Each structure stands twice: as structure tokens, then as C-alpha cells.
């Protein structure tokens, strides 16, 4: 069978970074083809070349056996390739219909094109049972539905080959199931799907074949049925990895962090958190399970003092924190440290060299200041030394304190942020998405450090959208939905189905 | 969805600005050809007019002093993520401060009166910039808008003051009385003359040293101090600033105040160094050119000093050019300056891409040969 898409010897460098090295890939028509690999393995670059964002330095793209030149997304669309990005490319203030015809309006005046598009859109959404109102504003749609609009957009432009980049990162488990059903349907109609993910479970569930990338090279392409998650993980990392974390039981100590009746209202007057009460004890990890956007981010930020609650009280180590002390700098002095969810927006300053990012929040440290009378100036040698020690302790690569923070891979950025906070000896550590965008090898390392910290008696509040991570690390799990805590479980007494129900808002009083 | 263009540091710092300037001069040369003049002759006049004699150099450096101050002012605000368009107004207010100090404290001995004048100028400039900063921090009013409006307020206010309050008695022109001699910042002629080096009389004065000291101070502040770290953090990532416990509102106000104080240096050079009284419109657009200087200098004090020298030379050489070549008017010189600003500022991205392409094409070739 002629492959629907064939990439031959694709090579691409960005300066000194060799992102793709002689990559070959053949995707069979009417199949779902998974591509896995660690962050920075070159998956996104490869797909960007296929979709015309970048041009390859060398190599050939063949569609249906014929070599083609794809120099822009317009070329890709013309060849029947559609892409659904991880971050949707939708105009929120426009309707579904307007978004779908955007860039394919078919004339200066909208009316004729819109009428034609409406008919086509209705046909497509009937054919795939998508149930989308073409006149709904995109901003009113749920994330799952917005993703369908993206898929519709690609289908409307006649895509036979659909590339999905980490499509499930933003979905609830039921939404992900619906997506998988849709993909199966597309496949049944003979369309080809390329599915990029780092979740091995999803690869196993939906793909027919899977390709593994590592350090810019394609290391294997296998029928999914002939492989297993551990085997794939080993191919991705190049060595054996522990997918599960070992941890021994530990009796928690005194409460180190207590939230009592916390409520948060955002700038638009929307209630983001309602009546949140929780306790984190010394030497335990409390996990917050929930689908992204259900208040976990606000919970972390309010506890860290980044945003202020409209109601409620916070105690650290038993001591009530008055409102004027609820700012990150003061809380830090009390031993409450914070690894934020979004390391690029909060955890570090991308344009700063690593040693400056490694001082974020701790610039008042006298060790970083020159002796009086120049105390307002930094002792940069001390800062660089400190950063070098952090990098050694957490295996940050490359161990170069002068390198710009944005130049480190996601995993190494995360290790730097973790190192900065952990090495200050927290009493309480708030951790948001510790392994988002982090490669498998680093995930294992980060998990072990968090467990070690718990064993040393630190109270940890863990927020993550990865249910496996919550279940693997936590001693106790709170599920959140719609800004409320919908249930509490002991880690050993629950499973994904049980938590999934709680995360979906099936609230109940007792566990 | 184009990725940000990453360049080696040397290319970023030296090559891209150099390419921009060369391109600007080529385009300006085409304009000169268009009006029927020989670009080589024009270039020669421009160069000799700006650096061809001690006299010319004096004027060039004098203009450059103004540009250093206003460029630094824009840069400090820019590091905090603010676009301070109000250099003109802040310098105008600083002029009022300078005049009040110089005219009302004549009993002070020379060095103290000069210091008092400088401090008054800086303070008035700082306050005038602080108000938009405060509005931005507390009310969310965008500083671009408010600083522009404050330029107009300052311009009208100073007319009123010079005509009705501070004007020289019995004079029709809107200017203050001459400042006492003790407030005059020593000119280059006096300073170098004392060292036995003969100098022609130019407006160049010791304010240049103050400007260079300010550039060094800004470098220390921005890149070496805790406050500068906070300013840069707020500018680069407000989220990270809040996370770190830095109050963006407070930093916005502090940065604007420093920015306004630096713009006040323009009043020091012009009024205490050169004109020795306050006249209407002494800011003469230097505040706006400071934006271009900061852009071209990439908001780094060293770059700003270099860009200020270039613009100073262009100002001085341009004046000579307008004088020597009848077809090239003052307006033509403004066109050349405009082209330079366009290429160094707005079109910088164009050359970044070009330079990046050239470098990446060259790099694999080197790698293959190796």
C-alpha cells in the first residue's frame, strides 16, 4: 500500500540544535499513527515541516507517493493536510461558522461564501455526529467543543490527513473518549490521522502504528499491538525507566498549611473558588485532582499569596496569616515556597540568564548582596556559584548559569525552579504541574525528589492534570470541580474511575 | 507563527545595528540622488560637518549629551515594560525646576548652586513622569497616552509661566532672566582651556560628563542592582514579578520617576550648560529623538551612548549640510534622520531575519567543510 504521507531523510537544524536528523516516516492511509517522544525530541519540528511552518534543510515529503514542496501552511492545506494545534487557533469573538471560513471566505463579500459554508458545515457535523451550532460564539464553547471546531475547520478545507498535536492535554477524560471515537470515525471514512502525544496510555488506546522519536531521530516505528508502554518509554528515553514511583508509607505530622473557607472572585466578578477548606500536614503529599480550569490554578495562587481571597483564612504552621502578610515575599519568609504551574510565565524569567532566574523571589538574600555600602548591588559571583550548586544538585543540563533561561529544555527549566525552591528548605511546598512538558527521564527524577522531600517532613500540596501523577505521588487526594472540592480519598483507596467521577462534579459529602 | 529569531550575541549587539545603519544610509543616499545631488559629496559634507573640526566635534558632542539623557530616560522605562513618550514634557518641567533653583538660590556658591539646579531639574522631571506612572499603576491609564498628554500640558504650562510668572521683566520674549554665573556649568572651552588646550567656543559643557556618569549609573542600576532586577522582571514578565513578591505598580512608579529624572538632564545641558536662561521650546524634539536613540541602542547604556553620538553627528552634520547645499533643506536632514530611525527601530526585525538566514546558511557550510 502506498503511504498517505512519506517523509524521507528530513533534516532540520536551528543554529547549533539539530532538531531532525534524517527522519523517515511513512503513514499508511486510513490509519491512526501515533508519534511519541520526549520534549525536544523533534516531534513538533517534524510536524511543523509537514505543515509548512518550517522548511527542511534536506529531505523529501511525498503525498500519495508523489514528491511535493510544502513551503507554507497554505501549501499543506492545498495538499489535504490539516492541523489541530495544542493551543487552538480560533478567534473567540467570532462564531463557529465565521471561524471555519476564516481564510477561506470565497470572495470579498461574506454572504455567498457563508451560505455555502453553512451547508457544508451542517453536512460535516451530521456525518460525524459533531453536534455543533454554527452560530454559537467560540468563546461560549467548552474546550472540547472548541477542539471540534478546529477539526471541522480542517475538514472544511478538505483535509484528508489530520495532524493532532497533544490533543488531550486540555480535555476531561469523557471529552478525550469522545475525541477518540471521532478519530475512529474519521479513520473508518478513510482519512489519515497523525496523533502526537506524550501519554503512552493514549497511544495504546487509539493508534494503529506508533513512531518513537529521540533526540531528533526516528528510533522505531511499530504496530501498536506489538508493543507496550514500558517498551515505548524505554525507546523514548534510551534506557529503562520506572513509570511508577516507589514510596513507603509515612505517618503525617502536625498541620503545616490550613485553608479555611477560601473563596476567590476574579476581576470579572466570576467566583473561581468557593468555600475551599483543606489541611496539609508535615510529611504528606496532598494531591489536587481536577480537569484544567476548575480552580486548581487559583487555589495554588491564593495559597501562595499571588492572588487574594475574597473570603477565608490561611494558617501556616498553626499561625493565622493576616491579610497584609498574604504576599509571596512574606509567605516565603514563613517557609511556604511555591513551584508555579506555569514556569515560563511565573517560575522564571525566560529572557534572564539562569543565575538571575535562580534568584527570583530570593533577591533579598544577603548572600547575593555586595558588602556595605554597596548592598543594593548584586554579588554576581555569589549568585552564579549558588546557581551552579543548584544545577549540580538537580542535574540541570547544561550546567551553565549564564545560559538564558528560555534556552533550557522544559524539564531542565523545571528542575531549576524546583531546585531553587527546595534548596531553601521549605516547610510547605506548593507544586503546580511539576512534570508538564517535562521528559520522562526528568519526571522520574522530579518524582523522587518530591517523595524525598515528603519523607523529610515537608508538607506538599500537589496540583496536576496528570491523574497518574496525582495517584502515584499523593498520600491523600482532593478532587476539584467548578471551584469546589468535590471529594477526598486516601490514595490507596481509589482509582481513576472513582476520581474521574469526582472530577466530573459528582459531589458527595463523605468518602 | 514564526519562532523568535535567535542570534549569537555579537550579531545581536553589533551586526544587526550596523546593517540597519548602512541600509539607512543607502536609502537616504537614494533620496539624495533623487533630488539631484551627489550622495558622495553630501556624505563628505555630513562627515566633515560633524567630526571634521574641533568646532564641529564640540557641537556634535553637545547634541549627543541631550540624546544620551533622553535615550537613557526612554530605556529605563522600557526595561520596566513602559513606553515613556513624555521626555519632552518631563524635560520642560525639569527646565522650570532648574530655573527656579538657579534664579532663587543665587546666594549659593557655584558648585552647590549647580548641584541644586541639577537636583531640582531631576526632581521636577521625576514628578512629571511619576504622575502618569501613578495613573498607570493605580488606574490602568496607559502611559503612552498619558505621557503624550502630559507633553501638551507641560508645553502650555511653560508658556503661561514664562509669559506671566517667570518671564524677564520688561521683555517681550518668553524667557527667564539670565541665570547667575555661579549656576553656569563650565564649558568645554573653559575646562580644556584651564588644562592648556585651546578650544573654539561651542555649547559643549561638562554636562557631557554628567551624561556619561548617568549612563554608567543606569548600567549599574539596571544590570547590577536589586532594584534594576525588579524593574527588568516587571518589564519581562509581570507574572514572575508578582510570583516573586515584587509589586509591579510600585516598580512602574519608580521606573517612571527615574526615567523623568533622566529626561531632566536635557534641561541641565541646555539651560545650565548652554543657554544660561530658560527659553520657550528648548527641548526642540530631543525628547522624541531619545526614543529612537534608545531603540537603536537596544536600551543598553553603551548602545545608547553610541547611538546618541550618531544622532548628534547627524544633527550637527545635517545643519552644515543644509547650510552648504541649498537644495538640501533642514527638512531633508529630517528625512535622513527619519530613515535612520525607521531602519534602526521599526525595521530592525527585517535585518534580524536576513542576518539569521545568512548566518544559518554559512554555519552548515562551515560544518561540512570541517
What tens digit of pLDDT does each residue of B211-259 get? 999 999 999 999 999 999 999 999 999 999 999 999 999 999 999 999 9
Neighbours of A345 (CB within 10 A): 15
Cα–Cα distance between B20 and B43 in angstroms, integer?
A: 17
CA count, 13 A, side-chain hemisphere, B62: 26
Contact yes or no for A328 and B245 at CB 8 A? yes
Last residue of a domain, one of A175, A209, A237: A237
Bridge pairing between strands A319-320 and A311-316:
antiparallel
Q: What is the pLDDT of residue A359?
A: 96
Contact B187, B205 (CB under 8 A): yes
CB contact at 8 A, A331 and A304 = yes
Sheet holding A484-490, edge to edge: A336-339, A428-432, A459-464, A285-289, A476-481, A484-490
Q: Which residues of chain B lie closer than 8 angstroms to A351, CB-CB?
A: 236-237
What is the rounded average pLDDT of the residues B348-360? 75
More confident residue, A506 or B189: B189
A502 touches chain B (CB under 8 A): no
**A:4-23 residues touching chain B, CB 8 A cutoff:** 13-16
DSSP assigned state of B175: B
In a domain, A511, yes or no: no
Residues of B in contact with A57 (CB under 8 A): 364
- Provide the shortest C-alpha distance from residue A310 to chain B (in Å): 18
- The radius of gyration of chain B from alpha carbons, rounded to an integer in Å, stands at 22
Cα–Cα distance for residue pair B234/B255, rounded to 1 Å: 10
Is residue A201 domain-resident?
yes
Flag if A346 and B239 touch (Cβ within 8 Å).
Answer: yes
**Does any domain span residue A383?**
yes
Q: Do B229 and A13 touch (CB under 8 A)?
A: no
pLDDT at residue B367, rounded to an integer = 44
Average pLDDT over residues B52-63: 95
SS3 A371: coil
Chain-chain contact of B364 with A57 (C-beta, under 8 angstroms)? yes
Q: What are the distances in angstroms from CA A339 to CA A361, A434, B243, B252?
A: 11, 8, 10, 26
Do strands A271-281 and A255-265 pair parallel, antiparallel, or not at all (unpaired)? antiparallel
Residues of A in contact with B3 (CB under 8 A): 14
User: Which residues are A285's β-sheet partners?
Assistant: A460
Q: Which residues contact A113 (CB under 8 A, 6 or more apart)?
A: A101, A104, A105, A106, A107
Task: Decide if A312 is inside a domain.
Answer: yes
Cβ contact, residue pair B229, A378, below 8 Å: yes
Residue A361 lies inside a defined structural domain of this protein:
yes
Q: What is the mean pLDDT of chain B?
A: 90
If residue A198 lies in a helix (H) or strand (E), which one and from where to where? none
Chain B residues 31-90 within an 8 A CB cutoff of chain A: none
Report helix, strand or coil for A65: coil
The answer to whether B245 contacts A305, with C-beta atoms less than 8 Å apart, is yes
Task: Answer yes or no: do A345 and B240 touch at CB < 8 A.
Answer: yes
Q: Do A105 and A31 sit in the same domain of this protein? A: yes
pLDDT band for position B6 (cuts 50, 70, 90): low
Higher pLDDT, B18 or B1: B18
Task: Check CB contact of A338 with chain B, cutoff 8 Å.
Answer: yes
Q: Which residue of B has its CA nearest to A52?
A: B1
Q: In chain A, what is the straight-line distance between the N-terminal and C-terminal CA atoms, in Å?
A: 55
Q: Given a cut of 90, is residue B342 above it in pLDDT?
A: no
Of the candidates A492, A247, A465, the one whose C-alpha atom is nearest the C-alpha of residue A479 is A465
What is the total count of domains within chain A? 2
Sequential pLDDT tens for chain A (511 residues): 788 999 999 998 877 678 899 999 999 999 999 998 877 788 888 998 999 988 889 999 999 889 999 988 889 999 999 998 877 888 888 998 888 888 777 666 677 778 888 888 888 888 877 778 888 898 888 778 888 888 888 888 888 999 998 888 777 777 788 889 999 989 998 999 999 887 788 889 899 999 999 888 999 999 999 998 888 888 888 877 666 777 888 889 999 999 999 999 988 788 899 999 999 999 999 999 987 778 999 999 999 999 999 999 999 999 999 988 899 999 999 999 999 998 889 999 999 999 999 999 999 999 999 998 898 999 999 999 999 999 999 989 889 999 999 888 778 899 999 999 999 999 999 999 998 877 777 888 899 999 999 999 999 999 998 888 899 999 999 999 889 999 999 988 888 778 878 887 765 544 4
Determine the average pLDDT of the residues in B331-338. 80
At A136 the three-state DSSP class reads coil
Q: Are residues A216 and A275 in the same domain?
A: no
Average pLDDT score over residue span B277-306:
92
Q: Give yes or no: residues A141 and A21 share one domain.
A: yes
The residue ranges of every structural domain in chain B are: 56-216+253-296
Give the domain CATH number at A276: 3.40.50.300
| 3-class secondary structure, B356 | helix
Asked if A15 and B225 come within 8 Å (Cβ–Cβ), the reply is: no
**CB-nearest partner of B245 from A53, A340, A361:** A361
For B34, phi and psi rounded to 5 degrees? -55, -35
State the pairing for strand pair A311-316/A255-265. antiparallel
CA distance linking residue A452 with residue A460, whole number of Å: 11
Whether residue A28 contacts residue A1, with contact meaning beta carbons closer than 8 Å, is answered with yes
Helix runs in A84-160, H state only: 96-101, 110-127, 143-156
Q: Is residue A199 domain-shared with residue A274, that is, in the same domain?
A: no
Q: What confidence tens digit (pLDDT) does each residue in B102-159 have?
A: 999 989 998 999 999 999 999 999 999 999 999 999 999 999 999 999 999 999 999 9
Q: What is the pLDDT of residue A442?
A: 83
CA distance A332 to chain B (A): 9
Q: Work out the minimum CA distance from B26 to partner chain A, whole angstroms.
A: 30
> CB-based contacts of A337: which residues, under 8 Å, 6+ apart?
A421, A422, A424, A426, A428, A429, A430
* Contact check, Cβ <8 Å, B236/A352: yes
Does residue B140 belong to the interface with chain A, where contact is any CB pair within 8 Å? no
Longest dimension (CA), chain B: 80
Where is the domain boundary, A206, A237, A268? A237
Distance from CA of A381 to the nearest CA of B (A): 12
Residues A208 and A94 in one domain: yes
pLDDT, position B301? 97
Q: Tell me: pLDDT of B2 over 50.
A: no
Give yes or no for a cis peptide into A398 (omega within 30° of 0). Answer: yes
Interface contact B243, partner A, CB < 8 A: yes
| Confidence band for B45, pLDDT divided at 50, 70 and 90 | very high
CB A33 within 8 A of CB A207: yes
What is the spatial distance between Cα A149 and Cα A186, in angstroms, rounded to a whole number? 15
Distance CA A336, CA A329 (A): 10
> What is the DSSP secondary structure assignment for residue B274, as one 8-state letter?
I
Kindly compute the dihedral angle of the four CA atoms of residues B110, B115, B117, B118, in this order, to the nearest 10 degrees. 140
pLDDT above 70 (res B364): no
Mutation for B interface: A12, A360, A374, A402, most B CBs within 10 A: A360
Q: How far is CA A59 from CA A5, A42, A55, in A?
A: 13, 15, 10
Q: In terms of pLDDT, which residue wins out, B37 or A280?
A: A280
**Among A187-201, A393-407, B10-24, B273-287, which is the least confidently predicted range?**
B10-24
The shortest CB-CB distance from A15 to any of B227, B239, B360 is to B360
Indicate if A195 and A333 belong to the same structural domain. no
Question: Order of strands across the sheet with A319-320?
Answer: A271-281, A255-265, A311-316, A319-320
Find the residue in B nearest to A325 (Cα).
B245
Q: CB distance B242–A361 less than 8 Å?
A: no
Categorize the per-residue pLDDT at B363 as very low, low, confident or very high, splitting at 50, 70 and 90: low
pLDDT at A429: 97
A384/A282 same-domain check = yes
Instruction: Quote the CA–CA distance of A102 and A124 in Å, as a whole number.
Output: 17
Residue B236 and residue A378: Cβ atoms within 8 Å?
no
Number of other residues whose CB lies within 10 A of the CB of residue A451: 19
Contact (CB, 8 A) for A296 and A304? no
Same domain for A215 and A295, yes or no, is: no
pLDDT at B368 over 60: no
Which helix or strand (DSSP H or E) is residue A58 part of?
A: strand A58-63
Question: A356: which chain B residues are within 8 Å (Cβ-Cβ)?
Answer: 229
- How far is the C-alpha of B289 from the C-alpha of B266, rounded, in Å? 12
ipTM given for this complex: 0.86
Chain A, 31 to 90: residues with Cβ < 8 Å from chain B are: 53, 57
* Co-location of A211 and A307 in the same domain: no
pLDDT of residue B318 exceeding 70: yes
The CA-atom distances, in angstroms, between A456 and each of A213, A418, B227, B254 are 37, 16, 36, 42
Of B120, B121, B114, the C-alpha closest to B90 is B121
Domain containing A397 equals 255-503
Alpha-carbon distances of B177 from B120, B157, B180, B266, B280, rounded to whole Å = 18, 18, 9, 19, 13
Structural domain contains residue A508: no
Amino acid at each position: 500500500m502506498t503511504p498517505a504521507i512519506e517523509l524521507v531523510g528530513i533534516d532540520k537544524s536551528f543554529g547549533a540544535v539539530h532538531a531532525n536528523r534524517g527522519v523517515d516516516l511513512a503513514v499508511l492511509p486510513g490509519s491512526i499513527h501515533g508519534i511519541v517522544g520526549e520534549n525536544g525530541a523533534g516531534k513538533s519540528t517534524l510536524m511543523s515541516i509537514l505543515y509548512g511552518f518550517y522548511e527542511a534543510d534536506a529531505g523529501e515529503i511525498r503525498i500519495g507517493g508523489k514528491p511535493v514542496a510544502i513551503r507554507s501552511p497554505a501549501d499543506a492545506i492545498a495538499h489535504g493536510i490539516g492541523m489541530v494545534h495544542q493551543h487552538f487557533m480560533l478567534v473567540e469573538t467570532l462564531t463557529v461558522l465565521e471561524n471555519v471560513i476564516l481564510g477561506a471566505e470565497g470572495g470579498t463579500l461574506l454572504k455567498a461564501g457563508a451560505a455555502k459554508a453553512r451547508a457544508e458545515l451542517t453536512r460535516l457535523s451530521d456525518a460525524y455526529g459533531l453536534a455543533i451550532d454554527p452560530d454559537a460564539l467560540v468563546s461560549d464553547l467548552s474546550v472540547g467543543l472548541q477542539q471540534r471546531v478546529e477539526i471541522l475547520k480542517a475538514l472544511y478545507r478538505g483535509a484528508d490527513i489530520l495532524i493532532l498535536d497533544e490533543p488531550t492535554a486540555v480535555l476531561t477524560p469523557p471529552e478525550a473518549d469522545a475525541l477518540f471515537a471521532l478519530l475512529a470515525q474519521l479513520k473508518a471514512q478513510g482519512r489519515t490521522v497523525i496523533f502526537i502525544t506524550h501519554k503512552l496510555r493514549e497511544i495504546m488506546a487509539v493508534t494503529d502504528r506508533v513512531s518513537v522519536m529521540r533526540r531528533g531521530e526516528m528510533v522505531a516505528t511499530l504496530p501498536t499491538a506489538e508493543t507496550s508502554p514500558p517498551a515505548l518509554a524505554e525507546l523514548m528515553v534510551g534506557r529503562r525507566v520506572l513509570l511508577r514511583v516507589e514510596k513507603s508509607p509515612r505517618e503525617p505530622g502536625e498541620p503545616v498549611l490550613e485553608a479555611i473557607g477560601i473563596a476567590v472572585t476574579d476581576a470579572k466578578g466570576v467566583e473561581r473558588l468557593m468555600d475551599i477548606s483543606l489541611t496539609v500536614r508535615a510529611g504528606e503529599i496532598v494531591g489536587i485532582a481536577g480537569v484544567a480550569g476548575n480552580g486548581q490554578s487559583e487555589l495554588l495562587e491564593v495559597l501562595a499569596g499571588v492572588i487574594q481571597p475574597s473570603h477565608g483564612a490561611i494558617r501556616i504552621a498553626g499561625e493565622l496569616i493576616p491579610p497584609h502578610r498574604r504576599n509571596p515575599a512574606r509567605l516565603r519568609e514563613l517557609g511556604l515556597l511555591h513551584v508555579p504551574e506555569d514556569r515560563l510565565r511565573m517560575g522564571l524569567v525566560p529572557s534572564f540568564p539562569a543565575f538571575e532566574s535562580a534568584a527570583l523571589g530570593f533577591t533579598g538574600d544577603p548572600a547575593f548582596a555586595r558588602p556595605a555600602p554597596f548592598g543594593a548591588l548584586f554579588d554576581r559571583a555569589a549568585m552564579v556559584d549558588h546557581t551552579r550548586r543548584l544545577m549540580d544538585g538537580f542535574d540541570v543540563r547544561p550546567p551553565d548559569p549564564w545560559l538564558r533561561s528560555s534556552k533550557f529544555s522544559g524539564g531542565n527549566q523545571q528542575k531549576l525552579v524546583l531546585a531553587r525552591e527546595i534548596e531553601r528548605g521549605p516547610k510547605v511546598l506548593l507544586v503546580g504541574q511539576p512534570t508538564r512538558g517535562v521528559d520522562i527521564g526528568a519526571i522520574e527524577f522530579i518524582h523522587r525528589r518530591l517523595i524525598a522531600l515528603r519523607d523529610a517532613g515537608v508538607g506538599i500540596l500537589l496540583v496536576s492534570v496528570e491523574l497518574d501523577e496525582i495517584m502515584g505521588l499523593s498520600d491523600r487526594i482532593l478532587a476539584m470541580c467548578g471551584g469546589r472540592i468535590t471529594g477526598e480519598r486516601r490514595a490507596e483507596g481509589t482509582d481513576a474511575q472513582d476520581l474521574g467521577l469526582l472530577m466530573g462534579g459528582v459531589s458527595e459529602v463523605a468518602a | 507563527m514564526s519562532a523568535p529569531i535567535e542570534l549569537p550575541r555579537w550579531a545581536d549587539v553589533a551586526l544587526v545595528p550596523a546593517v540597519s545603519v548602512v541600509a539607512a544610509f543607502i536609502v537616504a543616499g537614494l533620496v539624495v540622488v533623487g533630488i539631484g545631488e551627489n550622495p558622495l559629496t553630501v556624505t563628505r559634507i555630513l562627515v566633515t560637518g560633524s567630526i571634521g573640526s574641533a568646532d564641529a566635534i564640540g557641537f556634535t558632542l553637545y547634541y549627543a549629551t541631550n540624546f544620551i539623557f533622553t535615550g537613557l530616560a526612554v530605556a529605563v522605562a522600557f526595561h520596566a515594560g513602559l513606553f515613556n513618550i513624555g521626555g519632552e514634557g518631563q524635560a520642560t518641567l525639569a527646565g522650570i525646576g532648574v530655573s527656579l533653583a538657579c534664579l532663587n538660590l543665587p546666594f549659593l556658591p557655584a558648585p552647590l548652586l549647580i548641584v541644586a539646579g541639577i537636583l531640582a531639574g531631576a526632581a521636577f522631571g521625576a514628578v512629571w513622569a511619576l504622575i502618569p506612572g501613578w495613573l498607570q499603576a493605580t488606574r490602568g491609564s496607559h502611559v503612552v497616552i498619558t505621557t503624550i498628554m502630559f507633553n501638551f500640558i507641560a508645553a502650555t504650562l511653560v508658556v503661561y509661566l514664562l509669559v506671566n510668572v517667570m518671564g524677564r521683566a520688561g521683555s517681550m520674549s518668553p524667557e527667564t532672566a539670565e541665570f547667575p554665573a555661579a549656576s553656569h556649568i563650565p564649558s568645554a572651552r573653559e575646562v580644556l582651556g584651564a588644562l592648556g588646550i585651546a578650544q573654539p567656543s561651542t555649547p559643549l559643557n561638562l554636562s557631557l560628563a554628567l551624561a556619561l556618569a548617568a549612563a554608567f549609573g543606569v548600567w549599574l542600576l539596571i544590570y547590577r542592582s536589586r532594584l534594576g532586577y525588579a524593574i527588568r522582571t516587571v518589564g519581562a514578565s509581570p507574572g514572575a514579578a508578582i510570583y516573586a513578591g515584587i509589586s509591579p505598580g510600585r516598580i512602574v512608579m519608580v521606573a517612571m520617576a527615574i526615567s523623568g529624572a533622566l529626561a531632566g538632564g536635557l534641561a541641565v545641558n541646555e539651560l545650565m550648560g548652554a543657554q544660561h536662561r530658560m527659553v520657550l521650546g528648548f527641548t526642540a524634539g530631543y525628547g522624541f529623538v531619545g526614543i529612537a536613540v534608545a531603540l537603536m541602542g537596544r536600551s543598553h547604556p553603551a548602545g545608547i551612548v553610541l547611538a546618541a553620538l550618531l544622532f548628534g553627528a547627524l544633527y550637527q552634520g545635517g545643519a552644515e549640510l543644509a547650510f552648504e547645499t541649498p537644495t538640501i533643506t533642514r527638512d531633508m536632514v529630517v528625512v535622513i534622520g527619519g530613515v535612520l530611525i525607521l531602519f534602526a527601530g521599526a525595521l530592525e526585525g527585517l535585518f534580524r531575519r536576513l542576518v539569521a538566514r545568512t548566518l544559518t546558511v554559512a554555519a552548515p557550510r562551515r560544518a561540512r567543510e570541517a
